[in-house]
């Protein structure tokens, strides 16, 4: 609904603007200059990787950095997937590519091959956006403040989207062979704002072959999402009955967030919040309440004392490893990356001033519009995340299905990775899907890479999530195999 407030978003303007942006054709293969010979410390691989800049505004010398990895096998037969991280202001390259589902994960001086990389299923494009995030830059750095500008402030996330659709056009000029390819747009967290809005823009422009979107632990509706934290924390034993009661009767999470944003936390809300933080403790990561934390980020001096256990499969310090890796000079050279106006690459921008009021813009209705126009919508939740818990997300998707009059086509049921339950799922009208990933964090592919890859693969293939043992057990008996005592 809020999109009506943005005049340039009318279909007519869009088509004109977007086609103009996409029409200038280039004959030479400019992508060659962006081809990565090899990343420092990487194992030998057979697929191609590219990285470099896409100019968004020549006059202001503003450009976005991208990393593109072709599919491990048969790239010409696989779809193109754009991945965007949220924040706002966090890097899709540092988080998405190097800590979640890219082909490699940094470990010390080397890159380890990720066996569950999403480029097994697709050609993966990661873009750092907007300018000011990661290696993306604006030489006229007053741009960074203008995202916060009163005039454009309340629409700045849409403005970001406008730049993203433009950047997609410019990217296709470098990679024209992908222009007609099946396209999927994916992302997580605050990308619950970027992905639907960008998808809507593309649907209206009719320019690319958009098939579906997938968003993980997305911010869709501020109050519902943020207030579901209390029940999640309470039901997982992280806060006491008394504190849960306070969230329900005295001051809830959305009120606390609003007050903190405006810099005026009332004593009453401050008390509830402080008590919750004390109970949760700083030794638990709110983005995954069961996973171990990277202790060096909690106590910098204890990093050496608390080396990861040998048996641990997930490197909980991967974001720190990525930070070190992407700040090596030879890595930046291999990636064709430059540091413009900053002294180091950071996971989340240190220069961008984002209009935080935008967090309150609901994007769930856009999911409805997309589903109605035949775009597959998958909303998934890492079920250990307390930041944007599955509880709020599931309610939002359920309500959306009701509003759209979409009947359940796959009733709420478990899904499998091999012979273990990998989560729960429900599908509405064969177009809108909800799924949880069992044991997964806010950044689901980071902590549950295998299960996330199954979800990703089913989503791209338009297949229901694997029913696994359900079919076997149905043949055997109907007994529910749970012993409650």
Ligand X SMILES: *[C@@H]1O[C@H](CO)[C@@H](O)[C@H](O)[C@H]1NC(C)=O
Give the residue numbers annotated as catalytic, written as ranges: 189, 385, 442
Contacts of 299 by beta carbon, 8 Å cutoff, 6+ apart: none
**SS3 call for 215:** strand
CB of 1 to ligand X, least distance (A): 20
- Cβ distance to ligand X smaller for residue 79 or 389: 389
- Cβ distance to ligand X smaller for residue 254 or 306: 254
For residues 351, 355, 357 and 363, what is the CA-based torsion angle, rounded to 10 degrees? Answer: -100
Q: Token pair of 392, please?
A: 């709020």
User: Residue 327's CB: how many other CB atoms inside 10 A?
Assistant: 14
DSSP 375: -
- Cβ distance to ligand X smaller for residue 254 or 357: 254
- Cβ distance to ligand X smaller for residue 205 or 228: 228
**SS3 call for 88:** coil
Using CB under 6 A as the binding rule, the residues of this chain from 141 to 170 that contact ligand X are 142-143, 146
Using CB under 6 A as the binding rule, the residues of this chain from 114 to 143 that contact ligand X are 140, 142-143
Using CB under 6 A as the binding rule, the residues of this chain from 246 to 275 that contact ligand X are 252, 254-255
d(CA 371, CA 404): 9
CB of 146 to ligand X, least distance (A): 4
d(CA 222, CA 203): 25
Residue span 403-422 as binding mask against ligand X, x where in contact by CB under 6 A, dash where not: ----x---------------
- Cβ distance to ligand X smaller for residue 145 or 420: 145
Which residue carries 């200038």 as its tokens?
24
What beta strand segments (E) does 269-400 contain? 376-382
Using CB under 6 A as the binding rule, the residues of this chain from 76 to 105 that contact ligand X are none
# of chain residues touching ligand X (CB under 6 A): 11
CB of 56 to ligand X, least distance (A): 12
DSSP secondary structure string for all residues of 113-134: E-TT-GGGTSEEEEEE-STTST
CB of 33 to ligand X, least distance (A): 27
384 and 289 Cβ atoms separated by less than 8 Å: yes
CB of 407 to ligand X, least distance (A): 4
Using CB under 6 A as the binding rule, the residues of this chain from 355 to 414 that contact ligand X are 407
43 and 33 Cβ atoms separated by less than 8 Å: no
d(CA 277, CA 275): 5
Element (H, E) at 209: strand 209-216
CB of 372 to ligand X, least distance (A): 12
- Cβ distance to ligand X smaller for residue 62 or 417: 62
d(CA 83, CA 160): 15
CB of 297 to ligand X, least distance (A): 31
- Cβ distance to ligand X smaller for residue 40 or 368: 368
Using CB under 6 A as the binding rule, the residues of this chain from 28 to 67 that contact ligand X are 60
Please report whether residue 243 would count as binding ligand X according to CB under 6 A: no
- Cβ distance to ligand X smaller for residue 146 or 473: 146
d(CA 18, CA 9): 11
Using CB under 6 A as the binding rule, the residues of this chain from 219 to 238 that contact ligand X are 223, 227
DSSP 442: S
Classify burial at 275, counting beta carbons within 10 Å of its beta carbon; exposed 0-12, middle 13-18, buried 19 or more. Answer: middle
Ramachandran area for residue 74 (φ above 0: left; ψ -120 to 50: alpha; else beta): left
CB of 99 to ligand X, least distance (A): 31
The site for ligand X (CB under 6 A) is made up of 60, 140, 142-143, 146, 223, 227, 252, 254-255, 407
């Amino acid at each position: 609904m809020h999109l009506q407030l943005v005049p340039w978003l009318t279909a007519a303007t869009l088509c004109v603007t977007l086609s103009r942006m996409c029409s200038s054709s280039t004959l030479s293969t400019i992508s060659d200059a962006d081809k990565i010979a090899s990343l420092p410390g990487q194992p030998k691989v057979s697929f191609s990787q590219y990285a470099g800049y896409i100019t968004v505004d020549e006059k202001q010398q503003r450009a976005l950095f991208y990393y593109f990895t072709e599919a491990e096998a048969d790239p010409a037969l696989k779809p193109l997937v754009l991945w965007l991280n949220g924040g706002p202001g966090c890097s899709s390259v540092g988080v998405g590519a190097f800590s979640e589902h890219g082909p490699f994960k940094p470990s010390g001086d080397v890159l380890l091959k990720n066996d569950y990389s999403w480029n097994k299923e697709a050609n993966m494009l990661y873009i750092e956006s907007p300018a000011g995030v990661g290696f993306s830059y604006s030489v006229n750095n007053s741009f960074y403040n203008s995202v916060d500008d009163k005039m454009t402030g309340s629409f700045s996330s849409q403005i970001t989207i406008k730049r993203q659709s433009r950047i997609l056009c410019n990217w296709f000029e470098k990679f024209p062979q992908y222009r007609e390819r099946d396209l999927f747009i994916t992302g997580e967290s605050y990308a619950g704002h970027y992905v639907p809005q960008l998808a809507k823009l593309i649907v209206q422009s009719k320019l690319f072959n958009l098939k579906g979107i997938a968003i993980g632990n997305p911010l869709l509706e501020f109050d519902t999402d943020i207030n579901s934290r209390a029940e999640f924390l309470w039901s997982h034993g992280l806060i006491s009955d008394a504190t849960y009661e306070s969230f329900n009767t005295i001051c809830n999470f959305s009120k606390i967030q609003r007050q903190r944003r405006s810099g005026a936390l009332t004593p009453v809300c401050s008390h509830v919040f402080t008590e919750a933080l004390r109970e949760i403790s700083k030794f638990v990561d709110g983005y995954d309440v069961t996973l171990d934390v990277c202790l060096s980020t909690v106590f910098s001096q204890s990093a050496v004392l608390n080396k990861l256990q040998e048996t641990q499969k997930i490197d909980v310090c991967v974001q720190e490893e990525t930070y070190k890796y992407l700040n090596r000079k030879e890595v930046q050279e291999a990636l064709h990356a430059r540091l413009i106006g900053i002294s180091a690459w950071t996971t989340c921008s240190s220069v961008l001033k984002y209009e935080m009021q935008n967090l309150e813009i609901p994007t769930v209705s856009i999911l409805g519009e997309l589903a109605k126009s035949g775009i597959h919508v998958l909303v998934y939740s890492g079920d250990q995340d307390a930041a944007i818990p599955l509880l709020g997300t599931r309610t939002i998707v359920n309500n959306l299905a009701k509003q759209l009059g979409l009947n359940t086509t796959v009733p709420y049921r478990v899904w499998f990775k091999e012979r273990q339950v990998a989560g729960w799922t429900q599908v509405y009208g064969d177009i809108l899907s909800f799924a949880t990933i069992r044991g997964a964090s806010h950044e689901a592919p980071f902590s549950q890479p295998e299960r996330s890859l199954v979800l990703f693969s089913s989503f791209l293939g338009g297949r229901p999530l694997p029913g696994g043992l359900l079919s076997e057990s149905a043949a055997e008996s109907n007994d529910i195999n749970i012993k409650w005592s």
